Chains A and B, each alone.
Chain A
Amino acid sequence: MALAETVYRKINKLGIIPKLIHLLPKLSFIFAALSVAWLCYLPLDGNYRNVYISENALMPAQVTSYFRESEWNVVRGYREEFGKLENLSLNERNSMVESWLKDLNLQVSYHNNQTLYSIMHAPRGENTEAMALVVPWFNSDKEYNEGALSLALALIRYFNKMSIWSKNIILIFPENSGKVLRSWVEAYHTTLDETAGSIEAAIIMEYGKQGDYFNYYQMFYEGLNGQLPNLDLLNTANLISSHEGISKSIQGYKDNLMNFNTRLNTLFKGILKLSLTGLTNDLYGCEAFSGWQIQAFTIKAVGSAGHDVTQFGRIVDSTFRSVNNLLEKFHQSFFFYLMLSPKNFVSIGTYLPSAVLLAVSFALSSLSSILNNIKVEMIFDNLTFFLNIIAFVEIGCLIIAFTLPNTQFFEIGMSLLGVISLLPNFEFKNNQFSFALISISLFFISLLITALLIVHFSLAFIIGLLGFPLTFIPTLLKQRKVKIAKLISIISNPFFIIYIGSRYLEHPEIYSKLLTSWNDLQCWTWFIVMLGWFPSWILITISIIGYKEVDEIKKDI
C-alpha cells in the first residue's frame, strides 16, 4: 500500500485532479484524435501482419486440380447454351438448367418456385456438412452472369466425377445476390425440405460476359451487421490464386502495388463498406450468409485478357478441396480483422484501441459536462425528471423505429428536423439541466460505442466519428456561444449526416435502404441509429433549446 499511498498523497498535494477536470474537454478531443491517428498508424510497416493459414487441415494449394484445359470445352459448350437463355423468363431458364443437372444425375429443388438449387451428396460424407456454390443469374453489376453460370455447370459436372468429397456441395442459382438469396439461406435453415447439413463455406461466383479470359479478380467478404468470414477461408482462396499467378484486389486495390497509401485506403474503405453493407444497392451475395455461422466470400472476374476461365474455376475447386479437409468448423484464425491488402491484415487486438479511445473520449466529455458545470447531486435530486424525459424520447424513437413508413417525405423531414427542432422556445429551470442532459446523452453514446465495439467495430467507429461534434456543445454552451452550438446540433443530426453522406458517396439509396434493410436482410443498423444515436441527438438538442443565454453561471460549484 505504501506506493499507492505515496501516489495518492502526491496527487492530492499537487492538486492534479482539479486540473485534470478542467482539462477534460481538451483530453476528450485528444482521445478522439488519437483514435483516428491509431487507425492511420496501423498501415505503417511493422504494425500490421502478413496473412497466414492458421488451420493446418486446410492445406491450400496442396492438391493438383484437374479442372484444366480439357474442361475448357465443357465450359465453352455451356456458355454457348447459357447465351441463348439470357432473354428468357426465370422459369424457362430454370427448367433448362434443371434438365442439364438431371443429365448429370443430380436432384433439383426449388425455393418459392424461383430459386433453383441442387445438392450433390458427398460420396464419403456423413451428409451433415456442406459447401455452397452460388451463381446468381445476374451479378452485382446487373450483368448476365454468363461465365460464372457455365463455369458452375462445368464444375459440378467435374465434382460429380470425383470420389473425394466428404462434404455435400450445394449449387444455387438465385435470380440475383440480394433479397432472393437471403431468403433462400433463411429458408434453408428453417423450412426447406431438401437440405444437406450445415453449410461450412460458401463461394459466390461472378463472371460476366467477358468470354474465355479475365485479368484479375475482386474479392468481397463483408457480411451484414459487422460480420466477417473466417480469415482462413479468404487466405485459402487468395493463396490458391497466388499459386495460379492470378492477382486480386480488395476494396479496389490490387495486390501487385502495395504501399502505405493503398493500405490506408483499403483500411478505411473496408471500414466504410462494412458499416454500409446491406444499406447500399451493392450486394455481392456474401452478406446473405451472415448470421448462420457460414463463411462466405464473393469472387468477381474483371478484365478480358490474361488468365483463362478454367483458372477461375480452379480457385473454386481448390478452395472446396481445402474446406473439404476440415474436420471441425472454422474456428482458427480470425473472425475480427481489417484487411490492409490481400496479403496484410490487422487483428482485433491491434485495431480495437481505436474504438476504445473513441468511447473513452465520449465518456470524458460526458464527465466534463457534469464536473465542470454542475453538482453531481443535482442529477440525483432530479432523477425522476431525467428518467421521464429519457424514457419519453426513447419510447418515442422506439415507436417511430417500428412504425415508420418508407416515404420520400420522411427522408427530408428527418433531415430538416435539425432546423425545426431548434425553433421552439422553452427554458429549463436552470442551466444545470442542460448540462446534465447533455452529459447523460454523451455517456449514452459512449455506451453505444462500447456495446458495438467487438460485434460491429466499423459502425461503432463511424457513429463515434460522426457524432463527435456533439462533444463540443457543453464547452460552447459554457462559453455562451449558443448559436454555434445550435449550428453544430443541426449538422450533427444523424439523418442529416446520412442524407449528406449518401449523396456524397453516390449511394442515394442508403436512406430508404436503412428503413427496409431490417425486413429484407435482417440488418440492424436502423435500430442502432434510431434507438442509440438519434435519441442522444434529440436529448442534446432539447438541452440546447432549454439553455438560458442570460442566466448567470453559478460560481458555487
Chain B
Amino acid sequence: MSKLAQVFLIGALIRFIIPSSIPSITTILSSTVELSTPINSFKSLLESFYYLNHDINLYDGGVNHNPPLLVSILSIIYNLPYSNILFNALYTVIDLFIAYRLILINRWYNNYQTRKLGEKKTGFNDDLIASFYLFNPLIVLANLSHSTTIFSWLFTIESIYQIISGNSPRGMIALSISSYLSYYPLYLLPSILSLSHILSKERNLSKSLVFGGCIFLMSLTLLLMVSVVITSSFQFIDHCYFTILCLKKITPNVGLWWYLFTEMFEFFTPFYLGMFNLYSFIFIIPITLRLFEFKQTPKLGDSFLAIILSYIWISFTKTYPTIGDLGLALSLIPIISSTVLKYCKMMYITGITLIISLLLSPIFYYCWIVLGNGNSNFFYSINLIWGAVQVMIMMDLVWGKLIMDYSIENNIKSNEIGKLNLAQI
C-alpha cells in the first residue's frame, strides 16, 4: 500500500472508529469550550433535528444557529437508522475529501510557482500534506467534536480548488455556499476573486471582478431565498448571521470578543460592535492588495498566500472561533513551504507558544468553572496568547514573503539570504 493510502486509511480509522466505539467522546468534545461554540456545536444541530421532526420552528428557543438548508439536508441522515454511525462516516468522508483537495492544491501551487518564478519549487509530498491535515490534532479534535464548521471548510477549500482548476464560476458558487453556512468565508471573497483573476485569461480586472462577484452574489441570494421559502420566514437571517455579527450569545470561547463585551457597559456595545466588525473585515483589503500579482511585477505577489493570511486574520478576529479554525490554517501553511515558509524564522517560538496555550487553556477553564478558584481573567489571558499565536504566524508569513520578494528583486540566491542578517526591509 502506498504511503498516501496508509495516511488516508489511518486518518479515516481515527475519525470513524474512535467515535463509533466510544460515542461519548463526541458528546464530551462537543461540550468543550475550545471546540464548540453556540454557532457550531453538534448538540444544537441535534436539537434542531428534533425541532424539525416535531414541526417546531427551527429558530424558536434560540438554540439553533445553523442555516435551514444545512439542517434539512443533514436531517435526512439523522432520520436514517444508525444515524450516529452515519454521521461519523459523513464527517470522516468530508475530512478525507478536504485532505484530497489540499493535495491537489499543493501540487498546483508548486507547479504554478515553478512556472512563475522560473526555478524549480518542490514542496512537501502528497502524503505529507495529507498527514498535516489528517493528523493535525486540532483538526482531529474538531472533527471528533462534530463541529459544523467543517462543512464551511469543505466548501472554502473546494472553492479554492475550483478556482485553481480554472473553473471560477464553480469556485464562486462553492464560496457562496461556504459563506451561507458560516458567514465569515464571505471575507475571503476579495482574495479568492483576485486569485481567480490571476488564473483566468481575462486581462480586464474589473470585468473578472464583476463576473465573479455577480456569480457569488446570485448564488448566495439563491441560497437565502430557498431558505426563506422552506422556513417561510426571515427569522433565520437574524439567528444565523446577526447572532454571529452582533455576538448575541456571549459565552466563553477562544476568541477575543466575549470578554470585552461582558465587561463593557451596554451603552458602548453598539459602537464597539461596529468597530470590531469593521476591524475584522478591513484588513482583508490591504492583505489582498499587497499580495496581488500586478502585471508590472508578476513575481512579487502571491494571491494564495493572501487567502491564507485572510483566513488566519478571520480566525483571529471572528466572534465565535474554535481551535479548529487555526488548525485548518496550520494545515494550509505547509503548502507554501517551498516559497514563503523557508524564510520564516519564528516557527519554533510560535510552536512552543501554541503548545503552551493549548495546554493551559483547558486547565484555566477548569479552574474558573469547576474549581471556582480561578476567574474569567485566567481563561481570557490564554485567549490573548492564542490570539498572539495567530498574529505571530501572520507576522512571520508576511516577513517571509517580504524577504522572498527582496531576494527576487535583488537576485539573491535563497541559500545566501541567510547570511545577510536582514533586520529591516
**A positions within 8 Å CB-CB of B:** 1, 4-5, 8-9, 12, 227-228, 230, 291, 293, 329, 331, 335-336, 447, 450-451, 454-455
Q: List 21 A-B contacts (CB under 8 A).
A: A1-B423, A1-B424, A4-B423, A5-B423, A8-B421, A8-B423, A228-B373, A291-B370, A291-B371, A293-B372, A335-B373, A335-B374, A447-B355, A447-B359, A450-B356, A451-B360, A451-B363, A454-B367, A455-B363, A455-B366, A455-B367
Contacts of B356 in A (CB 8 A): 447, 450
Residue of B363, B374, B375 contacting most chain A CB atoms (<10 Å) = B363
Shortest Cβ distance from A290 into B: residue: B371
Tell me how far the C-beta of A232 lies from the nearest C-beta in chain B, rounded to whole angstroms: 13
B316 contacts partner chain A, Cβ-Cβ < 8 Å: no
Tell me how far the C-beta of A454 lies from the nearest C-beta in chain B, rounded to whole angstroms: 7
Contacts of B236 in A (CB 8 A): none
Shortest Cβ distance from B362 into A: residue: A451
Complex interface residues of chain B between 383 and 425 (CB less than 8 A to chain A): 421, 423-424
Contacts of A335 in B (CB 8 A): 372-374
Is the beta-carbon distance between A227 and B359 smaller than 8 angstroms?
A: no
Tell me how far the C-beta of A180 lies from the nearest C-beta in chain B, rounded to whole angstroms: 23
- Which applies to chain B's interface (DSSP): helix, strand, loop or mixed? helix
Tell me how far the C-beta of A152 lies from the nearest C-beta in chain B, rounded to whole angstroms: 27
Shortest Cβ distance from A291 into B: residue: B371
Is the beta-carbon distance between B360 and A227 smaller than 8 angstroms?
A: no
Give the docked Cα–Cα distance between A403 and B363 (Å).
Answer: 26
Contacts of B97 in A (CB 8 A): none
Give the docked Cα–Cα distance between A447 and B423 (Å).
Answer: 31
1/0 per residue B172-213: CB within 8 Å of A? Answer: 000000000000000000000000000000000000000000
Give the docked Cα–Cα distance between A125 and B366 (Å).
Answer: 30
Residue of B356, B366, B423, B424 contacting most chain A CB atoms (<10 Å) = B423
Give the docked Cα–Cα distance between A64 and B398 (Å).
Answer: 69
B311 contacts partner chain A, Cβ-Cβ < 8 Å: no
Shortest Cβ distance from B370 into A: residue: A291
Contact of A9 among B359, B373, B423 (CB under 8 A): B423
Give the docked Cα–Cα distance between A230 and B363 (Å).
Answer: 19
Give the docked Cα–Cα distance between A4 and B421 (Å).
Answer: 13
Is the beta-carbon distance between A331 and B375 smaller than 8 angstroms?
A: yes
Is the beta-carbon distance between B421 and A12 smaller than 8 angstroms?
A: yes
Give the docked Cα–Cα distance between A4 and B395 (Å).
Answer: 15
Nearest first, the 3 closest Cβ-Cβ pairs linking A and B are: A335-B373, A293-B372, A8-B423
Give the docked Cα–Cα distance between A522 and B331 (Å).
Answer: 38
Give the docked Cα–Cα distance between A291 and B370 (Å).
Answer: 7
Give the docked Cα–Cα distance between A227 and B373 (Å).
Answer: 8
Contacts of A8 in B (CB 8 A): 421, 423
With contact pairs A8-B423, A450-B359, A451-B363 given, residues A227 and B371 touching in the complex (Cβ less than 8 Å): yes
Contacts of A4 in B (CB 8 A): 423-424
Shortest Cβ distance from B378 into A: residue: A454
With A1-B424, A227-B373 known, 6 other A-B pairs at CB within 8 A are: A4-B423, A4-B424, A5-B424, A450-B356, A454-B364, A454-B374
Tell me how far the C-beta of B10 lies from the nearest C-beta in chain A, rounded to whole angstroms: 13
Give the docked Cα–Cα distance between A9 and B420 (Å).
Answer: 11
Contacts of A5 in B (CB 8 A): 423-424
Shortest Cβ distance from B356 into A: residue: A450
Tell me how far the C-beta of A470 lies from the nearest C-beta in chain B, rounded to whole angstroms: 20
Contacts of B359 in A (CB 8 A): 447, 450-451
Tell me how far the C-beta of B102 lies from the nearest C-beta in chain A, rounded to whole angstroms: 20
With contact pairs A227-B371, A450-B359, A455-B363 given, residues A9 and B421 touching in the complex (Cβ less than 8 Å): yes
Give the docked Cα–Cα distance between A455 and B369 (Å).
Answer: 13
Give the docked Cα–Cα distance between A86 and B356 (Å).
Answer: 55
Contacts of B421 in A (CB 8 A): 8-9, 12
Contacts of A293 in B (CB 8 A): 371-372
With contact pairs A291-B370, A291-B371 given, residues A450 and B360 touching in the complex (Cβ less than 8 Å): yes
Shortest Cβ distance from B366 into A: residue: A455
Contacts of A454 in B (CB 8 A): 360, 363-364, 367, 374, 378
Shortest Cβ distance from A6 into B: residue: B423
Shortest Cβ distance from A4 into B: residue: B423
